[in-house]
Amino acid sequence: MASLTLDGLTKSYGDNTVVQSVSLGVKDGEFLVLLGPSGCGKTTTLRMIAGFVPPSGGAIRIGERDITQLPPWKRNAGLVFQSYALFPHMTVAENVAFGLEMRKVAKAEIGPRVAEALRLVRLEGYGERYPRQLSGGQQQRVALARALVIRPDVLLLDEPLSNLDAKLRLEVRLEIRALQQQLGLTTVMVTHDQEEALTMADRLVVMSEGRVRQVGSQADLYERPADLFVADFVGRSTMIAGAVTGPGAFRSDGGLVLRCTGETPQGPATVALRPERLTLGADAAGLDNHAAGTVSFVSYLGAMLDVHVRLNDTDHVVAQIPNRADGRIPAVGDTIEIGWPASACLVFPREAA
Amino acid sequence: MATITQRPVGEPGALTAAGLLVPASLFVAIGLLVPIAILFRYSLNAFEPGKLMVDALTIANYVKFFSDPFYLQVLWRTVRVAVACTVFCLLFGFPLAYVLARTQSRFKNLLVMAIVLPLFVGNAVRAAGWMVAFGSKGFINASLMGLGLTSAPIEIMYTELAVIIGIIAVNLPFMVLTLQSVIEGIDRNVEEAAFSLGAPPMTMAMRVLFPLALPGILAGVILTFILAMNAYATPVLLGGPKFQTMGPLVFSTFAQQNNWPFGGAVSFILMTATLILTVASTLIIRRRYA
């Protein structure tokens, strides 16, 4: 295992730049997730690390070794694909042994190492089966064993869970994460599923339009998003358009005056509010920002309730509140007090469109 | 995992399917099996000059073929040419088919058209074109001599080489199209997985691509081999009168010598040889890669 460094990595096709100067460091044993909507360049970045896409600029290093110009078969990167990509004409054991044979590992050593890899992914005894005889989850675990057995410098996961059904996904997610930690694998995973990203990652990279928008921990992205895109993409936010009118003061287009924190300069801006930071009812009155609104919609989510509150003709917010046994469920049309602390307002200057 | 839906036997669908098979089955039975049966019967008849075919039950025609070095030479030459053509079609065709299957170019359809285009020109017309190219004053010799690479014209016309080149040109599109459709069905990620596990391109091809393309390789080999074994126009036009192969031999025995019993025997030997070699090559390829 080793660290992985991307230095100003760029990929363009003609005038179309799909990855723009991406610089990242993945520490030894760290699980880094590239997160972003489709077309954001995350997959191209991963494929450049794997060696399938030649970069237009920049460098890739594993430890101190510059691998930018190396072909994929000399990179020692373990790769797991969304489509599993098992060799259909080989048994599970032959699939796992393939990488060892390529490395000219002694025959006597291959058997035990294959068995060990299959044990790691809890597939002992499946060695003689063919991939088509396995379920999707089992196939993906074989793919993982095949990538791990070569003791790769980095493990690359390309949307590894997207083809699995929802229940299995939760299972394999935890399994991959546990293995990764147990073996101390330097890992880069690409996904568009933020829940997946949040549960698995040590650190996350949010990308959009070929650029890195923010690098940070789950809490960094959620509580301190770097820009409006991240605030919108990670978790849920209610957006209120308006302008910063002075230090800690914001006025919405609908005329709402809000107190907020931060040093956003005066000018057009947007406030993002996380639904769970809002308080409904009598407790709202004591908070920095409070107003009366009309309940326009209620979603019953089981443990939680989503309450949509219209504050005036243009502004409306969504509050998420726990569904308590003693609590009264607001009804559509109710007039309700709503409030939130100044610190809940995430203020972003409006991007010049 | 894909689920297999089974239709119970006896449902209306089964009847319709059977009904749809009837025309083709009838066509094959009347158009192919019956003539073959008649031909086989003829091959056991005797031939008397003047009386032509005489009813008999003899294997004399087969004995004649296998005891005459001339005919054995013709059979051996035909097999040699067909094997050479098939091997070269596979060697030339695979890379071409691979590129065609994997290209993301928007000109892909044009490329496919370019491969298919030669099929629009009949065998005889194409062979005539090669005659012009191969002749002692033809395009190839004129170019070689013009460039000073050779001082005298090279004999290409009426050689085995000319016939092999001619048949490869005819058969290559069949090989390429067969391989292309199979390669397109192979997940690109599987190749990438092999690369990432440390396999250089040739190793990847031998261990992953060829085994997975095997059905296409077999189909292409069978198709081109059968076409090459039975080639008629190309060996006649490019090989000349002295270059005898089985296809033209069948025709001349029937049409020029009017020896139907022997013609029947030659036909059957050609058919059997083609069948045996096809099965043999299938077994060899299967054992090698699967």
| Per-residue pLDDT, A79 | 95
The shortest CB-CB distance from B1 to any of A50, A77, A135 is to A135
Whether A21 and A194 have beta carbons less than 8 Å apart is answered as: no
The shortest CB-CB distance from B195 to any of A73, A89, A103 is to A73
Please tell me the least confidently modeled range out of A3-17, A106-120, A246-260, A318-332: A318-332
Average pLDDT over residues A262-270: 85
Cα distance between residue A212 and residue B149, in whole Å:
60
> Which sign, positive or negative, has the C-alpha torsion B50, B55, B59, B65?
positive
Whether A5 and A65 have beta carbons less than 8 Å apart is answered as: no
Q: Which CATH number characterizes residue B120's domain?
A: 1.10.3720.10
Average pLDDT over residues B195-214: 94
Q: Would the pLDDT of B262 be above 60?
A: yes
User: Which residue in the block uniquely carries the two structure tokens 């060799």?
Assistant: A87
CB contact under 8 A, B199 and A98: yes
Q: Would the pLDDT of B276 be above 80?
A: yes
Kindly give, in sequence order, each residue whose CB lies less than 8 Å from that of residue A244, ignoring residues fewer than 6 positions away: A250, A264, A265, A266, A267, A269, A347, A349
| Per-residue pLDDT, B226 | 93
Residue B52 maps to a domain = no
Residue B60 maps to a domain = no
SS3 content of chain B, % helix, strand, coil (to 5): 75, 0, 25
Residue B135 maps to a domain = yes
pLDDT tens digits along B220-245: 999 999 999 999 988 998 888 888 99
Whether B171 and B85 have beta carbons less than 8 Å apart is answered as: yes
Measuring CA to CA, which residue among A98, A174, A99 is closest to residue A141?
A174
Phi/psi for B124 (5° steps) reads -65, -45
Measuring CA to CA, which residue among B218, B215, B179 is closest to residue B95?
B179
Rounded to two decimals, the pTM is: 0.82
Contact residues, chain A, for B198 at CB < 8 Å: 73-74, 76, 99, 102-103, 150
- The confidence band for A326, taking pLDDT boundaries of 50, 70 and 90, is confident
- The confidence band for B7, taking pLDDT boundaries of 50, 70 and 90, is low
Q: Would the pLDDT of A353 be above 80?
A: no
More confident residue, A232 or B152: A232
Average pLDDT over residues A220-247: 90
Q: Would the pLDDT of A84 be above 70?
A: yes
| Per-residue pLDDT, B78 | 95
Percent of chain A with pLDDT over 70: 99
**Mean residue pLDDT across chain A:** 91
Q: Would the pLDDT of B126 be above 90?
A: no
Mutation target among B197, B210, B285 for the A interface, most CBs of A within 10 A? B197
- The confidence band for A105, taking pLDDT boundaries of 50, 70 and 90, is very high
Contact residues, chain A, for B207 at CB < 8 Å: 98
Residue of A nearest to B290 (CA): A89
CB contact under 8 A, A87 and B208: yes
**3-class secondary-structure state, position A316:** strand
- The confidence band for B62, taking pLDDT boundaries of 50, 70 and 90, is very high
Cα distance between residue A278 and residue A293, in whole Å:
13
Residue B264 maps to a domain = yes
> Which sign, positive or negative, has the C-alpha torsion B212, B214, B215, B219?
positive
- The confidence band for B1, taking pLDDT boundaries of 50, 70 and 90, is very low
Token pair recorded at residue A300: 């019953």
* Count of CB atoms situated within 10 Å of the CB of B16: 10
Kindly give, in sequence order, each residue whose CB lies less than 8 Å from that of residue A236, ignoring residues fewer than 6 positions away: A274, A275, A318
pLDDT tens digits along A121-141: 999 999 999 999 999 989 999
What's the Cα-to-Cα distance from A89 to each of A141, A222, B190, rounded to whole Å? Answer: 17, 45, 11
Residue B23 maps to a domain = no
pLDDT tens digits along B149-161: 888 888 888 889 9
Interface check for A300 against chain B (CB to CB < 8 A): the answer is no
Contact residues, chain A, for B213 at CB < 8 Å: none
Q: Would the pLDDT of B5 be above 70?
A: no
Amino acid at A7: D
Measuring CA to CA, which residue among B200, B208, B151, B163 is closest to residue B183?
B208
Whether A93 and A128 have beta carbons less than 8 Å apart is answered as: yes
| Per-residue pLDDT, B9 | 54
Please tell me the least confidently modeled range out of A29-43, B132-146, B166-180: B132-146
Whether A307 and A296 have beta carbons less than 8 Å apart is answered as: no
Give the DSSP per-residue string, A11-28: EEETTEEEEEEEEEEE-T
* Number of domains making up chain B: 1
Amino acid at A169: R
Q: Would the pLDDT of B265 be above 80?
A: yes
The shortest CB-CB distance from A73 to any of B190, B198, B211 is to B198
Give the DSSP per-residue string, A271-300: EEE-GGG-EESGGGGGSSEEEEEEEEEEEE
Cα distance between residue B123 and residue B139, in whole Å:
20
Q: Would the pLDDT of B44 be above 80?
A: yes
Q: Would the pLDDT of A118 be above 80?
A: yes
Residue B53 maps to a domain = no
More confident residue, B5 or A30: A30
| Per-residue pLDDT, A351 | 67
Average pLDDT over residues B32-56: 87
- The confidence band for A264, taking pLDDT boundaries of 50, 70 and 90, is confident
* Domain with B94 in it: 73-289
**Mean residue pLDDT across chain B:** 88
Percent of chain A with pLDDT over 90: 68
Contact residues, chain A, for B202 at CB < 8 Å: none
Kindly give, in sequence order, each residue whose CB lies less than 8 Å from that of residue B203, ignoring residues fewer than 6 positions away: A102, B194
CB contact under 8 A, B194 and A87: yes
The shortest CB-CB distance from A52 to any of B187, B192, B199 is to B192
Q: Would the pLDDT of B140 be above 60?
A: yes
Residue of A nearest to B188 (CA): A85
Interface check for A13 against chain B (CB to CB < 8 A): the answer is no
Q: Would the pLDDT of B4 be above 80?
A: no
Residue of B nearest to A144 (CA): B193
What's the Cα-to-Cα distance from A28 to each of A68, A110, A164, rounded to whole Å? Answer: 19, 26, 29
Cα distance between residue B194 and residue A235, in whole Å:
37
Q: Would the pLDDT of B50 be above 90?
A: no
Residue B32 maps to a domain = no
Touching B: A residues 241-280, CB under 8 Å: none
| Cα first-last separation, chain A | 44
The shortest CB-CB distance from B197 to any of A81, A88, A146 is to A146
- The confidence band for B247, taking pLDDT boundaries of 50, 70 and 90, is very high
Residue B192 maps to a domain = yes
Which residues on adjacent β-strands are paired with residue A62?
A4, A65
Please tell me the least confidently modeled range out of A260-264, B6-10, B134-138: B6-10
Mutation target among A89, A91, A95 for the B interface, most CBs of B within 10 A? A89
